[in-house]
Structure 1
Amino acid sequence: MAVVRVRQHVNPLAQKYLTPASPLEWEKIYAELNQPLHLDIGCAKGRFLLNMAEIEPNWNFLGLEIREPLVVEANKLRSQLNLTNLHYLFCNVNNSLPTLLSSIPPGTLQRVTIQFPDPWFKNRHAKRRVVQPELVEILANYLAVDGVVFLQSDMEFIAVEMRDRFTAHPAFKSVGAGKWLTENPLPVPTEREVTTQKKSEPVYRALFVKREVVNGE
């Protein structure tokens, strides 16, 4: 069987990724539509979400990934395991998130993870990074009150940038007074997290809770 090569870095600003994803028919995706939704942005091969879906059958899980071959393979494995609370979608989150979230029942989105995103090291490529102020605003609009956002990276400057952008938004309150979390609050680590820790390298983690904003404060 031929091995499909998948590019490690994909430019979300490229022309081929500028078309937003179509709205999802949620009732055709999940067996139990009324369960809380966990959104994983940049899910890669999707193994983290697959393990989460097995551990927490009372949650629905949605993984978004810009590299289509990874999504195809992840959905094949999901189907083989008959996980009816899990779905992967090929899309560019920078322009597709409002369309996807606008159709879900209010209060459904209760957990968001953004883990080890592509750092795009050069300053001139900073707009390609996934956590932009616009993304924070979208999540503030659709995440349920008391819902959480978990961020982690092995690149400190990226972790700081992500943390600062959520801290700057009045809808999000940092857990831990702005300090890095020493432990992952979720029951499943990502593959990148395991690899990083095996090398005894640091992982920078931050957790935010969505609070109800009254009169912009």
Structure 2
Amino acid sequence: MAVVRVRQHVNPLSQKYQTPLSPIEWEKIYAKPNQPLHLDIGCARGRFLLSMAKIEPNWNFLGLEIREPLVIEANKWRDELGLTNLHYLFCNVNNSLRSLLSSLPKGSLQRVTIQFPDPWFKNRHAKRRIVQPELVVELAEFLIPGGIVFLQSDIEFVAVEMRDRFALHPAFQRRGAGEWLAENPLPVPTEREIGTMNKGEPVYRAVFEKL
């Protein structure tokens, strides 16, 4: 698999990324569009979802990514593997998530992952981070009762901000005891997670359930 080189940081507030997604015809994307859906927000190169889609053929997987070259390459890998339960979309989550979720088969969104998002360290760039209050509201509206949101980051303040924004919404209840989950509850780690743990550095994880 050739590696596409792209910019690491993309400003979601720039004019280039303000056009929302057009409506999606899911029956043209998935062989079985009514299967439970796992949504990965900020999927980067998509390797995590490739592995998940192989392991769980009875789920559909959707990766959202703002860097279009990564999406094009990930969909090529999917096609080479013949996976009909996996798709990647180029979009800006901050202006496309509601229209995207509202077009899904009703009750299909059952699991969401947001893993190692771009931290945007400066306070003046805080609005560029993925987990804004509006995103939490939209996920609360479309995730099924009992559905799961899994968050993780190797940057503590980013993990705290994400966790606190979900904790503030009455539709979400945090699972597990202690400040952070010790282990990833999913069967596949991301490349960033593996690299962080190999360096002996902490990963901050939290799981929320939709009430």
Q: In the aligned structure 1, how far is the partner of 2:128 from the partner of 2:144?
A: 27
Q: Deviations over 1:3-48 (max 9, x none)?
A: 7530000000000000111111100000011110000000000000
Q: CA deviation at 1:124?
A: 0.1
Match of 2:48 in 1: 48
Counterpart code for 2:109: L
Q: In the aligned structure 1, how far is the partner of 2:209 from the partner of 2:102?
A: 20
**2:83 is equivalent to residue 78 of structure 1:** no
Q: Greater CA deviation, 144-153 or 170-179?
A: 170-179
- C-alpha RMSD over aligned residues: 1.1
Equivalent position SS for 2:89: strand
Q: In the aligned structure 2, how far is the partner of 1:66 from the partner of 1:46?
A: 12
* Structure 1 segments (4+ residues) deviating >2 Å: 2-5
Equivalent position SS for 1:64: strand
Match of 2:200 in 1: 200
Q: CA deviation at 1:107?
A: 1.1
Match of 1:214 in 2: none
Q: In the aligned structure 1, how far is the partner of 2:199 from the partner of 2:105?
A: 42
Q: In the aligned structure 2, how far is the partner of 1:3 from the partner of 1:87?
A: 19
- Structure 2 CA distance for partners of 1:103 and 1:122, relative to 1, 3 Å: same
Normalized against structure 1, the TM-score is what? 0.95
Match of 1:103 in 2: 103
- Structure 2 CA distance for partners of 1:12 and 1:178, relative to 1, 3 Å: farther
Overall identity of the aligned pairs, in %: 79
Normalized against structure 2, the TM-score is what? 0.98
Match of 2:94 in 1: 94
Q: Deviations over 1:127-173 (max 9, x none)?
A: 00000000000000000000000000000000000000000000000
Residue ranges of structure 1 left out of the alignment (5+ in a row): 212-217
Equivalent position SS for 2:40: strand
Q: Greater CA deviation, 16-25 or 200-209?
A: 16-25
Residue ranges of structure 2 left out of the alignment (5+ in a row): none
**Equivalent residues, number:** 210
Question: 1:137-216, aligned counterparts within 5 Å?
Answer: 137-177=137-177, 179-211=179-211
